[in-house]
Amino acid sequence: MRHTVVERELELQLVLSPEHSIPVAARLAYRTDDPYAVHIGFHIDSAHPVHWAFARELLVEGVFRPCGHGDVRVWPAKSEGRAVVLIGLSSPDGDALLEAPAGQVSAWLERTLVACPPGSEGGRLGLDDGLADLLTR
């Protein structure tokens, strides 16, 4: 099965306080061979990029309403009159609040939904082929 990769470079804002944020270059990535996840990589004062992966469904829902709990939370908001998506990340190393342009995130998500429509993810994992292979041995 052929796999598709959908990527987008964009600038996020790392929110340091209500009055102060800094720009952070980021790359959104979606792969149909990992159909349930979205991947975000960004540099924050480190030699190596920080990578996060979480459910695509969480980001899709978070564009419209607050969702998630624990390590990843996503919700829509307004910043200086612009629609944004806020992504809250928590790890043992610390917490981060990232602000992404809602239009750019939505356009990228739409491309991922075309590449692998909701409900078709399970067919992309090759589980049926793997099971058939095991049963024919």
Ranges of each domain in the chain = 5-136
* Structure confidence by residue, pLDDT tens digits, 79-108: 989 999 999 999 998 899 999 999 999 999
> How much is the pLDDT for 112?
96
> How much is the pLDDT for 135?
72
Instruction: For residue 99, give every residue at least 6 positions away whose Cβ sits within 8 Å of its Cβ, in sequence order, or none.
Output: 12, 13, 15, 21, 77, 79, 84, 85, 86, 87
Mean pLDDT of 97-126: 89
Predicted confidence (pLDDT) at residue 70 exceeds the cutoff of 80? yes
DSSP 23: E
Residue 50 and residue 102: Cα distance in Å, rounded?
A: 21
Residue 72 and residue 49: Cα distance in Å, rounded?
A: 18
Predicted confidence (pLDDT) at residue 3 exceeds the cutoff of 60? yes
Give the confidence band of 119 by pLDDT, cuts at 50, 70, 90: confident
| Nearest one of 26, 85, 83, 96 to 61, comparing CA atoms | 85
To the nearest whole percent, how much of the chain has pLDDT over 90?
69
Predicted confidence (pLDDT) at residue 127 exceeds the cutoff of 60? no
CATH number for the domain whose boundaries are 5-136? 2.30.31.20
Give the confidence band of 128 by pLDDT, cuts at 50, 70, 90: low
